[in-house]
A and B are shown apart, each in its own frame.
Chain A
Amino acid sequence: MELEGYLRGDYIRNIIKEGKRLDNRKFDEYRNLEIEKGYVGEKACGSAFVKLGDTKVLVGISMDAGEPYPDSPGQGVMTTSTELRPIASPYFESGPPRQNSIELARVIDRGIRESGAIPTDKLAINDEKVWVVYIDIHILDNGGNLIDAGGIAAISALLDTRMPKFEDDTIIRGEWDGKLPIECTPIPCTVAKISDQLLLDPTQDEEYAMDTRLTIATTDTINAMQKGGGFGTLTDKDVDDAVELAFSKGNEIRKLVEG
């Protein structure tokens, strides 16, 4: 990857200095976004297949009856995992999650958790058991901007999620009992910085050139932020501009997700 990334990154940095992007997009323009809810609807409680340009992500939601955390009795539990499947990139390998996939899952998780999108206080089943919501993010084709694609797919899948039927202390698979309540629609928006230019929805080639990125997940408030993706720095103005971009793009994408 090093040589390819080095050469492609160098090329991208130069054309961005000229005020252009390789695919002629404006700096604040996302690639084409397609969301298909219920993609694996036979088995998963909820799912969504998201295409963002040529990035493809499938998220499945599974629900199980489990125990609450000792410090939050009666509260449902959510967990988010990502798998950077080897099918998605020549640079992904099988094996335990590495730092990149851990960061990806945790940033997406933070936006959903902190916004209160999943009302964990409504997920108690009985005195001992609560619902556990598993959000599994499968990266199938890595064309860049996995945080946004994964985050959009995750909240889309949650909006698609049905509650399994629970009777006589067991889950009846394949039968449903209403929808999982979702309180709001957090949307992550990643702002990349390349050659002092801020831009949205970086492609994989643009990620090679990226000095740094700042992801901001919003609802009507800011719910999560993460600077990452490189050794570059941000100025005060970069941070302010990124917050504005995240709110305005978040609103646009939210309509597509809820639609």
Chain B
Amino acid sequence: MKLLENGKRLDGRALDEIRDVKIETGVLKRAAGSAYLEWGNNKVLAGVYYPREMHPKFMRDPTKAVLRCTYNMAPFSVDDRKRPGPDRRSQEISKILSEALSSVVLLEDYPDAGIDVSVEILQADAGTRCAGLTAAAVAIADAGIPMRDLVSSCAAGKIDGEIAVDLMKDEDNYGDSDVPLAILPRKKEVVLLQMDGKMTKEEFKKAYKLAFDGAMKVYEVQKAALLSSMDSVEGGE
């Protein structure tokens, strides 16, 4: 399958162009904070419940809150139905998303407490961990939980030998490498980094740079969504 034609990708994007990202905050009534995100054909919902009593008890930390993020794919989110419930992939993603978000939330403010973040992938089209993390960071901010920074995320990969940002499903299936990245957009530091495939040092550096720049673009969308939720609080619409 040919993934590049005259420098354009299957959906007409340039190599350094990310898909459209849309974010809406405060979409769930019961959660302390929430966000709905569309990223290309990905549709993701994130919700935060906090502060909660930490269960199981042995996981309680008297010095800080414990943040647990659960990433879950709906069975109908992919072409072949995904068996419901946690599998090894989703457990690994839950772990690295929890770590990425824990690096930014002021957990010391809530000793002994639990903060539960749910990420539901409703429709998947590659890049769901980045989309889920991006939505989760906005949901935490929407809940008013103190944070050092936002978390913004984007991936880059290799298609037909060229490094490209934000692969969509067909590119991900037939492409041969993937580098998901998440950063603190103001401090410019990395909170999530994975890679699989085959890349030289130079290719990796290029992919890292493209993913980083992509995440900075996503940051602008996150900021705009949070600012517009402030407008509606003041009745400014």
- Residue contact B95 to A99, C-beta cutoff 8 Å: yes
- Residue contact B201 to A247, C-beta cutoff 8 Å: yes
- Residue contact A228 to B96, C-beta cutoff 8 Å: yes
Mask: chain A, 18-43; 1 = CB below 8 Å from B; 0 = not: 00000000000000000000000000
Chain B residues with CB below 8 A from A243, complex form: 201, 204
- Segment at the B interface, from A49-57, A151-159, A170-178, A219-227: A219-227
A96 to chain B, nearest CB (A): 10
How long is the Cα–Cα vector from A76 to B204 in the complex, in angstroms?
Answer: 29
Mask: chain B, 186-205; 1 = CB below 8 Å from A; 0 = not: 01111111111111110011
Q: How many B residues are at the interface, by size bracket?
A: 20 to 34
Chain A residues with CB below 8 A from B63, complex form: 6
- Residue contact A221 to B198, C-beta cutoff 8 Å: yes
Mask: chain B, 118-130; 1 = CB below 8 Å from A; 0 = not: 0000000000000
**Known contacts A106-B88, A232-B103; is-contact A227 B199 (Cβ 8 Å):** no
B172 to chain A, nearest CB (A): 14
- Residue contact A234 to B61, C-beta cutoff 8 Å: no
- Residue contact A106 to B92, C-beta cutoff 8 Å: yes
How long is the Cα–Cα vector from A113 to B198 in the complex, in angstroms?
Answer: 11
Size of interface on A: residues with Cβ below 8 Å to B: 38
**Known contacts A99-B92, A102-B92, A233-B103; is-contact A227 B198 (Cβ 8 Å):** no
Chain B residues with CB below 8 A from A103, complex form: 92, 95-96
Q: Describe B's contact surface by its main secondary structure.
A: mixed
- Residue contact B61 to A2, C-beta cutoff 8 Å: yes
- Residue contact A228 to B95, C-beta cutoff 8 Å: yes
Question: Which of these, B191, B194, B200, B201, contacts A226 with CB under 8 Å?
Answer: B194
**Known contacts A99-B92, A225-B179; is-contact A236 B194 (Cβ 8 Å):** no
From B148, which residue of chain A is reached at the shortest CB distance?
A233
* B102 in contact (CB, < 8 A): yes
How long is the Cα–Cα vector from A243 to B201 in the complex, in angstroms?
Answer: 8
* A230 in contact (CB, < 8 A): yes
Chain A residues with CB below 8 A from B187, complex form: 233
How long is the Cα–Cα vector from A230 to B99 in the complex, in angstroms?
Answer: 6
* B34 in contact (CB, < 8 A): no
* B45 in contact (CB, < 8 A): no
Question: Which of these, A106, A214, A224, A239, contacts B208 with CB under 8 Å?
Answer: A239
Jot down 11 A-B pairs with beta carbons below 8 A, ordered by A: A100-B95, A102-B88, A105-B88, A216-B195, A222-B204, A225-B196, A228-B95, A232-B103, A234-B193, A236-B190, A243-B201
Q: Given contacts A99-B94, A225-B196, could you give 6 more A-B pairs where the C-beta distance is less than 8 Å?
A: A102-B95, A105-B88, A106-B92, A222-B200, A222-B201, A227-B191
